[in-house]
Amino acid sequence: MQLNKNRLAVVGPADSVALISEVAQERGSQLKVFPIIYQDASEVPEILRRYDNEIDFWLFSGKVPYCRAVISGNTQKPLYYIPHTGSSLYRVLVQIANSEKLPINNISFDTFSKKEIEEAFADISPDIPRFYLLEYDGVISAGDVADYHYELWKSGKIEAAVTCFLSSYQKLRGLGVPAFRIWPTRDTIRTMLSVAISEVEASRFKGGQIAIQHIAIDGYEDFIRESASNYAAKRTEMRLYELLLNYTEAVKGSIILHGNGQYTIYSTRGVVEELTRQFTVMPILDDVTRELVVGVSGGIGFGSTAYAAEENAHIALGLAQRAGKGKWMVVLDDKTVCGPLNSATHLRYSLRADEPAFRELAAKLNVSATTVNRIFAACDKLDHATVNADDLAPYLGITPRSTRRLLASMVANGLAEVAGEEGFGKGRPRKLYNVNLDRLLPRP
């Protein structure tokens, strides 16, 4: 039986696509290659829209089209690009010196780093000659690149130009500039293909993991007691079941009704990950909030076995219910927690407490190792180490008062310091704390 091949789109200018596709055909038993040629990298977003449903992963000829793909947000598929390495640079310098008999001083470059160019020159000559370099981050147009080289040549500052862009190369040649094109080496292409195939296969394995979702009506006994009638309660449960049934269809799964406001949905990781946008949102939460008078919590668990997924789903539901009513949490196969979904205080942290440093620190602060992980995740989410108790508390899942006690304990143990105060209106000023993340958990 023939295994399904990974569908690879190779995107770039004609010459690069031809070379990359030729090398990719060496992995013909694993890949079905789709060459896609553009005239300009600005076409990348439209290419993604047009072909994304037919592709498993994308390989771009260089960093610029790759960056355009990332910025566009038009695909959730894996994205890769062929890097321009020092060997490619060395090859073009040899071409300039030996084949074209041009001096290898006063040359302009783009895309590479200064260090890469200096190391390539060092392989040819003990003295590094003068050169010019256009460095950039992210997206740049081929026209701007050509203009950079042309202005240097027109002013007499360079003898030759080296570019990674086909359009720039063609324009410069048309203007009479001695221009040279950087090509990726076959070894570089083979290496990148191996990396991409390995990662895609690993992702596909994870995507096939079992996903179990446990859902429960919050405070079910109170919900029944406070309902206008038994019929009213049953209608609410039936409407919830209908909403969950629609969601189950979306994740291509199956649902079991346990009674007492409890439900379980079985599916696979790949479709759940896509539908929840990498475990950040829960699509049905808005409908549940709008249509039902009762909170509904959920826990999503993943695992390579049904037992592991079931265990993680129970943990996730417990975390969700401790976080409050109407919360949903995710526990991945590696015990990473994501959630609450649809929340401004969404975090990603680990449940593991295997490292002795975690256990020691948790004991010193008289908190759980999970709380220690949440502190790290919260500071990362807030993007700064200066916090106050009111802002930090929602991320830790504890009250501001408990958070103040925790921060005071961290100060007493030299893990944080009072940075000042901020006042709002007539209330008592709130203390600001600098959390010392390096001292909080020293890294090896």
DSSP 114-138: HHHHHHHHHTT-SSPPPEEEE--SS
What is the C-alpha separation between 378 and 349, in angstroms, rounded? 9
Residue 365's pLDDT is what?
85
Rounded average pLDDT over 361-366:
82
User: What is the band of 355 on the pLDDT scale with cuts at 50, 70, 90?
Assistant: low
d(CA 268, CA 72): 28
Sorting pLDDT into bands at 50, 70 and 90, what band is 423? low
Mean pLDDT, range 318-340, rounded to an integer: 91
Q: Are residues 222 and 339 in the same domain?
A: yes
Cα–Cα distance for residue pair 39/12, rounded to 1 Å: 8
344 and 300 co-located in one domain:
yes
pLDDT of residue 13: 93
Whether 62 shows a pLDDT value over 50: the answer reads yes
Residues 390-408: tens digit of each pLDDT: 888 888 888 888 889 889 8
Domain termination residue (choose one: 349, 381, 416): 349
Mean pLDDT of the chain: 87
Cα–Cα distance, 80 to 57 (Å, whole number): 8
Question: For position 437, what pLDDT does the model report?
Answer: 66
pLDDT, position 275: 93
Residue 12, amino acid? G
Task: Output the domain CATH number for residue 57.
Answer: 3.40.50.2300
CATH number for the domain spanning 258: value is 3.30.70.270
Report how far residue 4's alpha carbon sits from residue 6's, in angstroms, rounded to the nearest whole number: 7
299 contacts 319 by C-beta, under 8 angstroms: yes
Strand ranges (E), 317-368: 328-331, 336-339, 347-350
The reply to whether 114 and 149 lie within a common domain is yes
pLDDT bracket for residue 384 (50, 70, 90): low
Q: Greater confidence, 422 or 363? A: 363
Do 74 and 132 lie in one domain? The reply is: no
Write down the pLDDT at residue 373.
78
Whole-number pLDDT of residue 444: 38
- 188 contacts 83 by C-beta, under 8 angstroms: yes
DSSP code of residue 431: E
The answer to the question of residue 39 being in a domain is yes
Please classify residue 382 by burial: count the beta carbons closer than 10 Å to its beta carbon, then call 0-12 exposed, 13-18 middle and 19+ buried. middle
> Both 253 and 388 in a single domain?
no
Q: Which residue has the higher pLDDT, 20 or 185?
A: 20
| CB crowding 242-268: b at 16 or more within 10 Å, else e | ebbeebbeebebebeeeeebebbbbbb
Provide the domain limits for residue 319.
208-349
Average pLDDT score over residue span 73-92: 86
Once rounded to an integer, what is the mean pLDDT over residues 206-224? Answer: 90
Domains in the chain, number: 4
230 with 312, same domain? yes
Is 1 contained in some domain? no
Evaluate if residue 75 carries a pLDDT over 70: yes
**Overall average pLDDT of the 37-57 stretch:** 93
Q: Could you tell me if residue 277 is left (phi over 0), alpha (psi between -120 and 50 degrees) or otherwise beta? A: left
Structural tokens at position 64: 């610029």
- DSSP reduced 3-state for 298: strand
Give the integer Cα–Cα distance in Å for 251 and 238. 20
For residues 359 and 398, state if they share a domain: yes
Confirm whether 369 is domain-assigned.
Answer: yes
Q: What is the pLDDT of residue 218?
A: 95
Per-position DSSP letters for 101-118, written without gaps between them? ---SSSEEEESS-HHHHH
Last residue of a domain, one of 154, 172, 205: 205
% residues pLDDT > 70 (the chain): 94
**Whole-number pLDDT of residue 1:** 37
pLDDT digits 0-9 by tens, 90-148? 888 888 888 788 888 899 999 888 888 888 888 777 788 889 999 887 788 899 999 99
Picking from 316, 349, 382, the residue at the C-terminal end of a domain is 349
Q: Which of 62, 114, 125 is nearest to 86 (CA)?
A: 114
pLDDT at 443 over 50: no
CA–CA separation, 142 vs 42, rounded Å? 10
* The pLDDT of residue 440: 62
Considering only the C-alpha atoms of the chain, give the largest distance between any 2 of them, rounded to a whole number of Å: 94
Note whether 285 and 426 are same-domain residues: no
Is the pLDDT reported for residue 51 higher than 90?
A: yes
Same domain (yes/no): 300, 413:
no
In a domain, 282, yes or no: yes
Whether residue 296 sits in one domain with residue 212 = yes
